[in-house]
Amino acid sequence: MPGQEQQRPSRREDEVEDAAAVPAQAKATETDADVDALLDEIDEVLESNSEEFVRGFVQKGGQ
Amino acid sequence: MTVRRVVGLETEYGISVPGDPGANPMLLSAQVVNAYATATTGGRSRPRWDYEDEAPLRDARGFEVERARAHPSQLTDAPGRAAGEGRRAAPNASDVVSAETEDPTMANVILTNGARFYVDHAHPEYSSPEVLTPRDAVTWDRAGELILLESLRRVAATPGLTPVTIYKNNTDGKGASYGTHENYLMNRSTPFGDVVRHLTPFFVSRQVFAGAGRVGLGQDSREAGFQISQRADFFEVEVGLETTMKRPIINTRDEPHATVEKYRRLHVIVGDATMCEVATLLKVGTTSLVLAMLESGWLEDSPAGRLLLSEPVRALHEVSHDPSLRHLVRLRDGRRLSAVQLQWAYLEAARAYVADRYGDDVDADTAEVLTRWEQVLTRLETDVFSAAREVDWVAKLRLLEGYRSRDGLDWDNARLAAVDLQWSDVRPEKGLYLKLAERDQVERLVPEAAVRHAVDHPPTDTRAYFRGECLARYGPRVAAASWDSVIFDVAGRGALQRVPTLEPLRGTREHVGALLDRCETAEELVAALTG
C-alpha cells in the first residue's frame, strides 16, 4: 500500500491471545470478507503517514 | 416529564493544521467561526453575545466563588479573556459592539437555528439550541457537525486562510482534553445532594453505551491499549465547579440561563462526543429519565437508589479501561456489580417509573429510549460487537481489532491511533464513522434532510424558536442575544431593547409564531412586545 510507513509483521500468536482480553466474538456479527472489504476502504482514506499525523495532532486548552 | 426535557449539547471540536502542530489554535478557531459567519450573514455586522445573565462562578451547593480566586478559564461571562472585566449592567450599543472587536479571537456567532458558535479557549465550540426530545438533541447535534464541515470548507476556499482539519472528539492523546457538555434543566427544588448521590453511579456506568472509544490509557496515553471513554481518564474528583482542571464527575456550575427560582441547569461534563446517533439518543434520553426519577423522588424506594459506589473516580477509570465489560465496581454496601448491571438497575427503575406514571399512555420518545436502552444492554451483555451499529466505542474497536488481526499490530502502533482520530473527522471523504455510515454499517435515526434543515432552522418547541427566527427575520436589527435574551437596536428608540427569554418553554412557534408572522420589521415586533 503506497505511503504506509510501517511493515506488516506476520501475525503473532501472543497478540491473538492479547486480543482475547476483549470479547472474542468480533467475527460473530460479520463474515471475514465483510470486515476485510471495510478495512480496505478505510485503508484508502487513512492518513498515509500515521506516525506524523498522530504526532502532529496537538490540542491546547479545553474544558 | 419523562424523556421530554429542555436540553442542549455543547461540543468543543478538535482542530488541527496538518504538518503544523504549533499553529495558534485560538486564531484558527476564530478563522473557522468567522468563515462560517461571513458566509451566512454576508459580512454585515453580527449580533453580539449578551453576557448579562452569565454566572459561571455560582455553585449549586449554595455559594459563589470569589472572582479573584477563580481560574481565568472559569470566567466565561467576560467578553475577552481578561480576568478583571466585570459584568455589564444595562447594555448600550457601543458597549455591545466594542465588546468583541478588541480581540480577534473572540469570534462568537448566534445562528438562525438558535445555536451559539464561538471560540471557547482554543476550540471552535458549537452549543446547540435548546431542544425537548432526545431525537431533537441528535438532530441539532448532528447539524453542528455539518456546520463545522461547512466552516472547514469555507476556510479552505478562502485565499490567505490556513486550511484546517476538524474532529468531534475529546482528547489529543497527549494530555489535553476538551469537553462535550450536556445541559439539562431540572427543578430547582430537587436537593443537589440527591443529584450527586444518584447520578454518580449512573454516569460511571453510562459510558458502556455512551463512550466514544479511545486508543491509549492514561491522560497522556502513557500505556498502550484501548478504553471505552475518551474523557474518563481526565476526571479526578467527585464533585466540583471546575471544568478545565480537577474535573469532577458531577459539575456544580449553577447557571440556569432561565428563571433561577424555578430551574437548575445540570451541567454534565463527564460525557464523550458521540458520532453514533443511537449513542447520542441514549446518552440524553437515559439521563433525562434518571432526572425525572430524581425529581419525583422515585429512586428513593428503588433498588437503583441504593447503588452507591465506594470509589467513584476510580470506578469511572476502571470501567473505561475494561472493554470486556467484566470489571466489577465496589459498592458501599459491599456488593460488586458490573457497569452493565448498574445500568440494568436504572433501566428497571425507569420502566417501573414510566409504567406507574403513564401506564400505556407513554409518549413515543420515552418508549423509544426504554426499548433501545434495553436492546443495547442486552447486546453488550451477550456479544459486545453486536452493538457495533449503535455504540461508538464498539464500532471503533471492531475496526481496530480488524486491523490488529489482519496486520498483526500492537496497540502502540500509530495506525491504530490514527484510526481513533480519524473516526471523528467531520469530512465525509475522510471521517471513518462517516464512511461506516455511508456503508450502512451504523444505524441512523434522523433523515439527512432533517439534519440539513436544522443547520438553519431552530426547534419549534422551545425559546430557541424565538431567538433563531428573530435572527433570521430581523438579523440586522438584533444587536445581541443569549440563551435568555434577544436585544434589538431599532429606529426611534435611544436605548437598546432587551427582550428577556427566561422561560425556555415560551417563545415557541405556538406561542410567538403568529406574532412574528404579523411583524414585518423589528420595529413592529418591539412595539408589539412593549405594548
Percent of chain B with pLDDT over 70: 94
Q: Do B406 and A36 touch (CB under 8 A)?
A: yes
Query: Chain A residue closest to B267 (CA)?
Result: A63
Annotated catalytic residue B517: no
Distance CA B380, CA B279 (A): 13
Query: What is the rounded average pLDDT of the residues B242-250?
Result: 90
Say what the pLDDT of residue B531 is. Answer: 78
Say what the pLDDT of residue B69 is. Answer: 82
Beta strands in B65-114 (DSSP E): 108-110
Domain map (residue ranges) of chain B: 7-64+100-445, 460-530
**Class of the CATH-defined domain B7-64+100-445:** alpha beta
Closest CA to B470 of B114, B39, B147, B52: B114
Q: B266: which DSSP letter? A: E
Say what the pLDDT of residue B47 is. Answer: 87
- Indicate if the pLDDT at residue B460 is higher than 80: yes
Q: Do B435 and A21 touch (CB under 8 A)?
A: no
Say what the pLDDT of residue A36 is. Answer: 83
For residue A23, the distance in angstroms to the closest alpha carbon of chain B comes to: 6
Give the pLDDT band of residue B1 (cuts 50, 70, 90): low
Interface of B with A in 57-116 (CB under 8 A): 73
Distance CA B309, CA B201 (A): 6
Say what the pLDDT of residue A18 is. Answer: 43
Summarize pLDDT for B409-455 with one digit per residue, the tens: 999 999 999 999 999 999 999 999 999 999 999 999 999 999 999 99
Closest CA to B340 of B374, B369, B363: B374
End-to-end distance of chain B based on CA atoms, in angstroms?
Answer: 34
H or E segment to which residue B479 belongs: strand B478-482
pTM above 0.80, yes or no: yes
Beta-carbon neighbour count of residue B529 at 10 Å? 14
Query: What is the rounded average pLDDT of the residues B350-360?
Result: 96
- Indicate if the pLDDT at residue B90 is higher than 80: no
Q: Contact, A61 vs B122, CB < 8 A?
A: yes
Distance CA B471, CA A61 (A): 31
How far is CA B49 from its chain centroid?
A: 19
Q: Fill in the amino acid letter for B329.
A: V
Which residue has better confidence, B175 or A5? Answer: B175
Assess: ipTM above 0.85.
yes
Q: Which residues of A touch B70 (CB under 8 A)?
A: none
Interface of A with B (CB under 8 A): 4, 6, 8-12, 15-16, 19, 21-23, 25-26, 28-29, 35-36, 38-39, 41-42, 45-47, 50-63
| Cross-chain CB nearest to B408 (options A9, A59, A63) | A9
Q: Do B325 and A23 touch (CB under 8 A)?
A: yes
Q: Which residues of B touch A21 (CB under 8 A)?
A: 324
- Indicate if the pLDDT at residue A4 is higher than 80: no
Closest CA to B239 of B228, B252, B229, B253: B252
Cell (9 digits) for B490: 431599532
Query: Chain A residue closest to B410 (CA)?
Result: A15
Summarize pLDDT for B148-197 with one digit per residue, the tens: 999 999 999 999 999 999 999 999 999 999 999 999 999 999 999 999 99
| Cross-chain CB nearest to A63 (options B174, B179, B323) | B179
Cell (9 digits) for B419: 484510526
Distance CA B5, CA B366 (A): 11
Give the pLDDT band of residue B493 (cuts 50, 70, 90): confident
Beta-carbon neighbour count of residue A19 at 10 Å? 16
For residue B387, the distance in angstroms to the closest alpha carbon of chain A comes to: 10
Distance CA B229, CA B213 (A): 5
